[in-house]
A and B are shown apart, each in its own frame.
Chain A
Amino acid sequence: MTAVIGKPIKRFEDDKLIRGLGQYVEDLKLPKMVYAVFVRSQVAHAEIKVNADQARAEEGVVAVITGEDIEGKVGKNFTAWIVPNSNQVGAEISSRPLLACRKVKYVGEPIAMVIAESKERAFDVAELVEVEYKELPAVASIENAIREDAPLVHEQMQSNIALKWQIKNGDVDRIFSESDRVIRQKIYINRAAPVPIEPRACIADYNFSNGKLTLWVTSQNPHIHRFYIANVLGIPEQKVRVIAPDVGGGFGAKIDIYNEELLACYASMILKRPVKWVETRSEHFVASLHGRDFLVDVEFAVMSDGKVRAIRGNSYANMGAYLGTVSPGVASVLHGLILPGPYAIEAFDYTTHAVFTNTMILDADRGAGRPEAIFVLERMMDLIADELGIDPLELRKRNYLPSGENIQTVTGLSYDSLDFSKVLSKFGEVSDYEILREKQKKARQEGRFLGIGVVSSIDICGFAPSPVVGAVGLQAGQWESAAVRFHPTGKITVLTGTHSHGQGGDTTYAQIVSEILGVPLDSIEVLHGDTDMIPMGWGTYGSRGTSTGGSAVYRAAEKVREKGRIIAAHVLNSKPEEIEFENGEYFLKSDPQKKITIQEVALHANVGWNLPEGVEPGLEAQSFFDPPNFTYPFGIHLCVVEVKPDTGEVEIQKYVAVDDAGKIINPMLAEAQIHGGVVHGIGHAMFENIAYTDDGQILTGSFNEYALPKAHFIPRIESYFTETPSPANPIGAKGIGEEGAIAAQIAVANAIIDALKPFGVKHLDGPYTPARIWKAIRGNLAKV
């Protein structure tokens, strides 16, 4: 066997990107192209009057489009997730008008689109669009939005609740009354922004000779963009081509279909010129989706021995002013179902709520609902451990679900495969956990405050199968497509319906094909991101790229190999059953010297001179793979911090991640995903915070205020894997893109709170900035 799977192959994608030879949307220039800039709301809630007369009269201006200009001419930007049995508010209220008309509902909402001959002119003229605001009461935080007398974001509604979805199983009340203790905590997970390194951008080009619209866009899912454009603008889907060229990171921000992109298409159609828009760095903080912002109030029923028996509570997710492409699912399904995590819980009663506020729209930010769930769960586990005087790791051990396949959870999920014993034993080898606890004790005696966070996590990845996805309300499928095509020269093109924007999908897929077909890696080209070239597919997010997309590639490659076997048998004057395949060669079982390479077979297939009867020419296959189940990667992460009580400063001293994401195709890329995720989680825990004032002004509207983790804030990250194959796909792979971010945010939080224990601090909401930590210490010191 060639054994390319499992090798740490360097990414093919990097060379050109490192040399600055990437082709991002911003790099593209089309003849006669014009440039768009958006005039955005300065206030959170107001009636508006727009006067664009002066702007329109300016030299170099091609058009100024306002909400009133397009009202009734284009559709609205609707959500693609309608959660069943949730009383989800209807599309007429929850959909985003492409441009605000008469009313604005959040800071940054697009009011007018200024299009000029040059980027410079567009920026200049945008200042001349006059907007008169008559301010209305606004609401920004969940707590304010769910008050009885809260100002309404949408006046047609009775409250700001956009949906309410309950998961209930078991006799919760009885178990609560039987339990030894009930532990309750209100936990707030603050808002963050995904901030990919490349801001969003698009160019729309309508060709009026054939009615075809092409959109180059920073998209994680070009086919979903195509679907939306066709729907909102009323263009036949075959007349829309969406191209996502090199895309510099997504983290969820580029899943959503945004107003600016739809408007660029509309403008190109009416102007008959290509229209380009590039988000500015600061604009990203008000124009691209935010994440997190969950308020959760939960109670856990526990026994004195640490056994957690039941959970009940409520969650509230801040949706912003409208529903995002998938945000209803983020607030409900993706959050609530995983809340019991890897633990055996008997009964569960949890109601998720989605809440409107006068803020930017919230949607899927790396993890989307699951980080918040695992944060709550693992915060509670530490509170319970503390309350019962049980070591936090020991408490978790006492509650793990059994190892095995298709493990049923209290929320009705079936974990594809689970084996915490393996993870635990690896963790035992590499973490020094007991020694660290000793060190912590000693340090405390010396007046130094170390904290240890040890968390278990589990993620829902690769949503599937499609009927289940549909049943929980996502108006889409979640299977994936791939095509593997042999050229006459024996080289291969692979098409995938996923989209790689930094993950290394091209390298991973090439490894899969190389493994199955025994061809060299450098004879494989992986293509994605063009709806005219690629079969229908659903893009990359939710850690589905390898487990779902890679499995489609795997299946397509297998089909190619099998067709090749038939041709090889014919050429070798034998029967397919008599043919073996190894290292890229077909040979006779009985006489291995009689052989033919797969490349030779490809030539036979492509010229078609000598094929068995009934076999069509060509050597190419497609697969549309719909996995039978989600995949559930799991792991244990450890974080050690030292807190300086005098100033609240935190130093991360150690970070260990042991993850099980099933079969690992490329250990280097897997580790990179964990590293990136952990950095993301550290950022979310310690610095990243989208803050609004109570009346909806954004306080963190640029990199002057919004802190991303810098290299020098990050400790050495030790990453290890165990491999428990998933039965949900032919590779045995699970998702890995979000696991690091999910585990790290709470590992850091728990470590910091653990360090603060001597000061009587039991719980603290993030972000864990020095000032907040200092306050927590001081607040509690005052009580002593």
Chain B
Amino acid sequence: MIPAPFEYYKANSTDEALKLIRDFGEEAKFLAGGQSLIPMMKVRFARPTKLIDISKVQELRYISLDGDYIKIGGLTTHRELEKSSIIIEKIPVLAHCAHEIADIQIRNVGTIGGSLAHADPSADYPPVVLALNAVIVAKSIAQEREIPINDFFLEAFTAELRPDELLVEIKIPVMKPNEKAAYIKIGHPATGFSVVNCAVKITLDKEKIEKARVAFGGFVTVPYLDEKVGEFLIGKPANIDTITQASELVAEGREVIGDYYADADYRRHLAKSVFVRVMKKALEI
């Protein structure tokens, strides 16, 4: 299929990209890996009249350790995250998450910034960055700001980013020895996108759970941090009973989406099951 006509511009630096978007306004869109935008343009769901290609902006492509944070440039590809020795060592759950995305061809070009900006409720990163309590750094010509991940996902396919802002960095706290994390997705057989996905980060105090961040995607229109489940876990022993009890609270009061393949009833139930699996995986029980 063929996209509607558009003009193509190539930015060689962050500044250049930001200037172009300031000048063009809302009719323009950034083109990163193109793995979400181009498919949408091909079926003409998306019809930007101008594309600003940022895929060659090398300064936004990095993974570095900076004190208590890992900093990831917005243009870092899924494949780079999956293969990065820093990520594998410091936040292995993120490497695993990146590995779960699509196939190697797509992971070679798709970027974490593009995926987060796209805010697909079935994508792999959202629950993981929620559980890991990441911080998003967004930049426009006028300013640079930090957005806590809890405030980032607004609606299906809408993130807390202004049209003239570029997602330049993702900051993720380095995992401590008493912190355990895991991620599992149940993919749709057609696309591999999540029917349900879940990520957890558990802080242990000996046998007890001191803190818990439990996040879900796939079965809701906006990936979210399940605070009810998280709160329930606090102070509880890290065992099967606790997990089973907590699973009853998953998605409580939430509107769940469904389709002909997996309806809402099933997804709600599946979310509980996946939560149990993720917790067992994180706690290695």
Contact = CB atoms under 8 A, between A and B. Distances in A.
B270 interface: yes
B1 A282 contact: yes
A564 B234 CA distance: 91
Nearest to A683: B189
Interface in B91-124: none
A770 B188 CA distance: 11
B2 A704 contact: no
Interface stretch (B82-90, B125-133, B225-233, B258-266): B258-266
A704 B191 contact: yes
Interface string A684-716: 001101010000000110111111111001000
Could you tell me the dominant secondary structure of chain B's interface residues?
loop
B43 interface: yes
B266 A710 contact: no
A700 B188 CA distance: 13
B190 A699 contact: no
Contact of A647 (B43, B188, B189, B273): B273
B4 interface: yes
Contacts of B263: 771
A123 B189 contact: no
B190 A774 contact: no
Nearest to A693: B260
Contacts of B259: 699, 705
Given A705-B261, A770-B262, A120 B2 contact: yes
B270 A769 contact: no
Nearest to B39: A704
Interface size class of B (residues with CB under 8 A): 20 to 34
A630 B115 CA distance: 55
Nearest to A692: B260
Contacts, number: 60
B40 to A, nearest CB: 11
B189 A280 contact: no
B5 A707 contact: no
A769 B262 contact: yes
A775 interface: yes
A237 interface: no
A280 B261 contact: no
A703 B262 contact: no
Contacts of B273: 646-647
Contact of A707 (B186, B190, B269): B190
Contacts of B260: 689, 691, 699-700, 705
A180 to B, nearest CB: 40
Given A646-B273, A687-B190, A703-B190, A124 B266 contact: no
A704 B262 contact: no
Interface string B183-204: 0001011110000000000000
Given A123-B1, A647-B270, A771 B262 contact: yes
Given A119-B2, A124-B4, A707 B189 contact: yes
Of the listed residues B1, B189, B266, the one surrounded by the most CB atoms of chain A closer than 10 A to its CB is: B189
Nearest to B263: A771
Contact of A280 (B1, B188, B190, B270): B1
Nearest to A702: B43
A699 to B, nearest CB: 5
A713 B43 contact: no
A282 to B, nearest CB: 7
A119 B269 CA distance: 47
Of the listed residues A127, A648, A703, the one surrounded by the most CB atoms of chain B closer than 10 A to its CB is: A648
B269 A774 contact: yes
22 contacts: A127-B44, A281-B1, A282-B1, A647-B269, A649-B186, A686-B189, A687-B190, A689-B260, A691-B260, A699-B259, A700-B260, A703-B190, A703-B191, A704-B191, A705-B190, A705-B259, A705-B260, A708-B190, A769-B262, A770-B266, A770-B270, A774-B266
Given A120-B5, A771-B266, 15 more contacts: A280-B1, A281-B1, A647-B273, A648-B266, A686-B189, A687-B190, A703-B191, A705-B190, A706-B190, A707-B188, A707-B261, A710-B189, A774-B269, A775-B265, A775-B266
Q: Rank and list the top 4 A-B pairs by shortest CB-CB distance, nearest first.
A: A707-B189, A707-B190, A771-B266, A123-B2
